Each structure stands twice: as structure tokens, then as C-alpha cells.
Structure 1
Amino acid sequence: MTAARVLITRDPASASALAVLLRERGYEPCASPLLEAQLPSDVESLRELLAEATGPSGPTWLCVTSATTVAALAAVAPTPQWGAALDAARRPSARHRTEAGGPALRVAAVGEATVRALREYGVGVDFVPARVSSAAGMLAEWPEEHPGASGAPVRALVPVSALASDALVSGLRERGYDVVRITAYDTVPVPADRPLRAPGAGTATIPEAPEEWGADAARAACASGELAAVVVTAPSRADALLEGMTPAAATAWIAIGEPTARALRARGVDPMTSAQPTPAALADAVSRALGEPDTSAPERDDHTEPATTTPATTRPATTQRFR
């Protein structure tokens, strides 16, 4: 009997962890990135943001919402040691400290994949939401209620995708932060002219990576009913996959989070929403959507992409992590 085929809307390297879990459950995974990230044509603003974070003049948060943003910072950095320089600003040294003696810079990351990407370059993280890996999740658990209570303005540097919502920016501004939003990367159809890769990306040394499909093949398979399920990992990928195409009614759709689920509903698809943006939670959602028994191990702490949850699949909250 042929295994049920599941399409993951990511590049094969990024899809490999989920692909392993799907194979363990008897599915046949394949991957189609559809879109790629690339540096904007003008990167001077991003360079200036990195310089400010490395040498802050006052209390500052650097808010990092994806591993791709880390790749963009690395691409424009003036030296390979940029991560060490950035991490030094987090330490209460003679050069980088507030009047109260604490570090001038703190780093917030949206989830564990972003934490790992920062650590690849030696950058520590001071805050990561414990429950939901998204802008809304960051705001819900944000550790400062009254920024600048001592009188000093608090900066929030937010390098993001050109397609990112203003949820985090608006939320921090409402709380009194001096927020700077900068486009770190654009999202374009594959192949990008100047593709960005997250740290460790590449399929040559990843035997678990699934077969890669081109965008046309992925769309054709969605329309024909060849796919048992599709895992959609971003609203932009939902739009790229479904533009001008009517999907087969029998295909199950899994959204990595509520923003992606909304994008799918706008295209006439009613998806199941993953409890968390992790390989384990996404594999659970595939099993539930296809009516298979859930035989997974307990969920591992290996966040991938920002997302929000829906009540039907949300797991119990854990303790906030504020390092």
C-alpha cells in the first residue's frame, strides 16, 4: 500500500525534522519552499540597526522574530565576530551598561529556533515566550510593564520581514517603547536572487531531508488530490500555493498557527491549526487531520516558526522563560 503523501511548505533542510516524524508514522513527506527570503536592495538601515544594538546609547531591546532575521543580520555584519560583539552589549561592563549598572542591551527571541540561530553566532537571549511563539505570545509575556520608569527612554529594535504584521511594533509602542522597525529581508518566489539561509541550512549533509518539489508540481498535486495532507508554515506560503488554484476536497490542511489558518480560510480552505509551531506538534496535527492514532512521544522543545494557537489544540501553559 502506498504511503499517504504529505507536503511541507518549507525547503527540505528546514522540513527535515518534521519529515523524520512523519516517516515514523508511515507517511511519505515531500517539501516545496515556494518562497525564499532575500536581503532588501538597500541594507544600510539594517546595518545601522545592528550597529545601534552592538553599541547602544541607553536601555535597548533587540527583538528577533525568526531565524531568517538572524541570517540577514549576519549577512550585513561588518565582521564575522558580530555575534560576540552583540553579546558583549548584554553584559554589564564599563562600556555597555545603564545608569543602574545593568546591561544596556537585552535580546528577545520569538521561539527556540530563533534562540538556536542566535546561539550559532554566540548571542545569548534574555527573553523568549514560554507559551506561544508569535508576536502576540511575546507581548502576552513581555517582562517589562513600565519601560523607562527610571526616566530613561527604552528603545526596541525590531528587524523583521517586509511581510510581517505590525502587531509587535504597535504593542510595544502602546507600552511606551521607542520602537524602530526595519525590513531585514524580503520574501520572493523561488529562486531568489540573493537567498538567505538560516544558520546550518543546506541539504547536502541532511539525509533526513525530504524530496523537494517545485512550485508548479506542488500546486498540481494539491489540485489533483495526490496529497493526503499539506502542512502550511506561513500566511505568505498559503497565498503562494493557492493563488489561482482550487485544491482537491479530500486533502487535509494543517496550519502552523492562527495567522496561517486565517490565510487559508480566506482561500476557502478549513485547516486544522497546530498547537505549537514545533515538528512534534505539527506531526500530531497531521495524524489527527488524517484520522490516524497519535503515537508520538511527548512534545519536544524545538520551536521552529512563529505562530499562535487555537483553543482546540492548545496545550497547557508552561512557566515563562525570562533569562
Structure 2
Amino acid sequence: MPAAAAPGGGYLSGRRVLLTRSPDRAGAMAVALAEAGAEPLLLPLIDFERTPDQASLAQALSRLAGGGYDWLVVSSITTVRALKELAAAQGMHLASLVPEGVRVATIGPSSRRVLEAEGIRVDLAPGGKQSAEGLVELWGAGPADDAVGTGSGGAAPRVLLPQSDLAAPTLADGLRAHGCAVETVVAYRTVDYPAAEALRLTAELAAGEPAGQAAPAVVLGPDEANGELAAGRLDAVVAASPSAAQRIHAVLRPLGATALIAIGEPTAAELRALGLTAAATASTPTPRGIVDAVARALDSTRSDSPAP
């Protein structure tokens, strides 16, 4: 596969790739692209704030710590950051909110790594389709006597699902379809960049990029990014989430010949709904997966690159 030669091999040499993430959340992606020879650029489009209703989130976490749920389902790394920030504000460690006997599910290896670094054991995470859909499919694939399908005393499993205010109903509805009693609570707000300084999520995670770590890339504003597009100086734009896809549609137009890369099928689906087409979809939301997707999308136009 051609993209296998990308890391460190200059396979994307001379390519300019726009990442639609803020500097503190794009470091690993930018480094991976730079190691592959590309020039990463940043256009921050979305950011994250604490929810105004901290009381509801705090109450849900109190019930969690008291054993009021059978499962905690974490749908994003940003959720982990929001929960850790609230726990810290209460003088607690994040892991102390998850008592013995409560099982934890998440949407893939990246979020599993972050949770485990915080001292939280993960019991269920899809390895293939790393998304809400993948977790729902994995949940329903368990044997009938597996604890996934039962709660205390054989009752429907009680599930706490903290998530973004813009979260699609896919995960909650899918778990309910499998017989779960799901309680959703808003853990954070997804907003246009930049977030209000007083509300921005800043808790640093034990794994992953610290909240204050800047990416090794030039940061553009919307007008500058559109100028680069108009001049034909951008080879690819990476959409990291459905929310980012919506902002790309609103801010970056027209894309012209610039390849659009989606991270995950939900993002690709959102792009299609907006009338945009992903030239490639990263099957895994990892820096290597993103480099591979960019390489696939640009492969047909890389006539002057060395053979892998």
C-alpha cells in the first residue's frame, strides 16, 4: 500500500495540508504530516467550553460515583477532558468517579488509551469501526449472557452517557435499542473558535496532547485560508469531526481541486449531507491513519513523487 512509506519517508513532500483544529489539539497530526514531508497548516474552526449547566453534570457524576449506573460510556476524548476538569474542581481524581463494578465503554483505541492513562479500566471499545456506530454494533454482538446486556438483578443496564451539546442521537438511540436505560447529560459545548477564555476546557490529560501544547504549524485565519485556496496553494483539507465539516462548509468555499479528507465515517457522512465529497476517509482517528488517508487522496496527482 503506497501510504505505508509515508512516516519519515517524505512521501507527501511538497504537499500543503490544512488541519481544521486548534493548535493545542493538532500537534500529533501536524507532526505526523511533517514527518511524511508535508507542510501542515492550521485553521481552527471549533473549540470546546464547559457546559453552563455544571450542576446537572455534577449530579450525574455524583450518581456515578455512588454506583447509580452499570456503565459509563465515553464518546470522545473531549468528554474525558470535561469530566476531569469538573472532578478537579471538586478536589477529586477522575478515576475516583468510577467505582468498582461500573463498566466503561468508549469508541476506540485512542479514547481507551486516554482513559486508561487516567486510571480507568475500559471494558469495551471497538477496534475496527471507531465511532458511535462501531460501539453500538459491538455492544449488540455480545453473547446473550454477557454483562453488556444486563444490569443489577437482571434489569436493563443503566448507562450514563456524557457528551457534547451537539452530539448526534446515534449512540444513545443505539444503546436504547439494545435494551439499555440511557441517561444523557451535556458534558461540554462545541462552539466556533475561539472559545470564551473563562469557559474553555483546559484540563490536561495524562495521555495525549496537553491542552497548552502548540502544534508545529502555521495558524491561518479564515480569510488567509480562503486566499490559499483561491491561489491553489492547498493540496488537502482535513475535517476532524461532523462539527468541523459544518464549519468547513460555512467558511471554506469553494474548495475547487483541493482534496477533502474526513476523519471517520460520521464526518464523511456529514460532508455528503452538506453536498461535499471526501476524497478519502481515515479509517482510524490516529495521526498515522490521517497521513495514510491524505496520501490515498493525493496519490492520483502525485506524478512527480518518488516511488514508494
| Fold match (TM-score > 0.5) | yes
Q: Structure 2 matches for 1:174-323, cutoff 5 A?
A: 174-193=177-196, 194-197=199-202, 199=205, 200-204=209-213, 209-243=216-250, 245-271=252-278, 272-291=280-299, 292=302
Asked if the contact 1:215–1:241 (Cα under 8 Å) also holds between the matched residues in 2, the reply is no
Name the % identity. Answer: 39
Q: Structure 2 matches for 1:124-139, cutoff 5 A?
A: 124-139=121-136
**Which runs of 5 or more residues in structure 1 are unaligned?**
91-102, 297-323
Q: Structure 2 matches for 1:51-70, cutoff 5 A?
A: 51-57=62-68, 60-70=70-80
* 1:39 equivalent among 41, 50, 54: 50
* 1:50 equivalent among 61, 78, 98: 61
Asked if the contact 2:249–2:274 (Cα under 8 Å) also holds between the matched residues in 1, the reply is yes
- Structure number with the higher helix fraction is 2
> What is aligned with 1:169?
172
Shift of 1:71: 1.3
CA distance in 1: counterparts of 2:296 and 2:306, whole angstroms? 7
Q: Which amino acid aligns with 1:131?
A: G
Q: Which amino acid aligns with 1:119?
A: E
Q: Which amino acid aligns with 1:179?
A: V
Asked if the contact 2:163–2:186 (Cα under 8 Å) also holds between the matched residues in 1, the reply is yes
What secondary structure sits across from 1:254 in the alignment?
strand
Asked if the contact 2:74–2:162 (Cα under 8 Å) also holds between the matched residues in 1, the reply is yes
Change (3 A) 1:232 1:295: farther
For residues 26-55 of structure 1, give each alpha carbon's deviation from its aligned partner in whole angstroms, at most 9, with x where no partner exists.
210012221101012111111111111111
Asked if the contact 1:30–1:212 (Cα under 8 Å) also holds between the matched residues in 2, the reply is yes
Change (3 A) 1:238 1:178: same
For residues 226-267 of structure 1, give each alpha carbon's deviation from its aligned partner in whole angstroms, at most 9, with x where no partner exists.
211011101111111221653232101110122211222233
Change (3 A) 1:228 1:160: same
CA distance in 1: counterparts of 2:193 and 2:255, whole angstroms? 24
Change (3 A) 1:80 1:215: farther
What secondary structure sits across from 2:162 in the alignment?
strand
Of 238-247 and 249-258, the range deviating more from structure 2? 238-247
What secondary structure sits across from 1:261 in the alignment?
helix
Asked if the contact 2:151–2:158 (Cα under 8 Å) also holds between the matched residues in 1, the reply is no
Shift of 1:15: 1.9
CA distance in 2: counterparts of 1:81 and 1:45, whole angstroms? 17
CA distance in 2: counterparts of 1:14 and 1:170, whole angstroms? 29
> What is aligned with 1:6?
17
Asked if the contact 1:218–1:241 (Cα under 8 Å) also holds between the matched residues in 2, the reply is no
Of 12-21 and 154-163, the range deviating more from structure 2? 12-21
Greater than 4 Å deviation, 4+ residue runs? 292-296
Asked if the contact 2:14–2:37 (Cα under 8 Å) also holds between the matched residues in 1, the reply is yes
Normalised by the length of structure 1, the TM-score is 0.78
Asked if the contact 1:31–1:213 (Cα under 8 Å) also holds between the matched residues in 2, the reply is yes
CA distance in 1: counterparts of 2:258 and 2:182, whole angstroms? 42
CA distance in 1: counterparts of 2:212 and 2:107, whole angstroms? 25
Is 1:160 aligned with 2:163? yes
Asked if the contact 2:110–2:286 (Cα under 8 Å) also holds between the matched residues in 1, the reply is no
What secondary structure sits across from 1:169 in the alignment?
helix
What secondary structure sits across from 1:290 in the alignment?
helix
For residues 171-200 of structure 1, give each alpha carbon's deviation from its aligned partner in whole angstroms, at most 9, with x where no partner exists.
111121111011111111111111114624
Normalised by the length of structure 2, the TM-score is 0.81
> What is aligned with 1:147?
150
CA distance in 1: counterparts of 2:231 and 2:48, whole angstroms? 29
For residues 138-169 of structure 1, give each alpha carbon's deviation from its aligned partner in whole angstroms, at most 9, with x where no partner exists.
01111456324843342000001111111111
> What is aligned with 2:3?
none
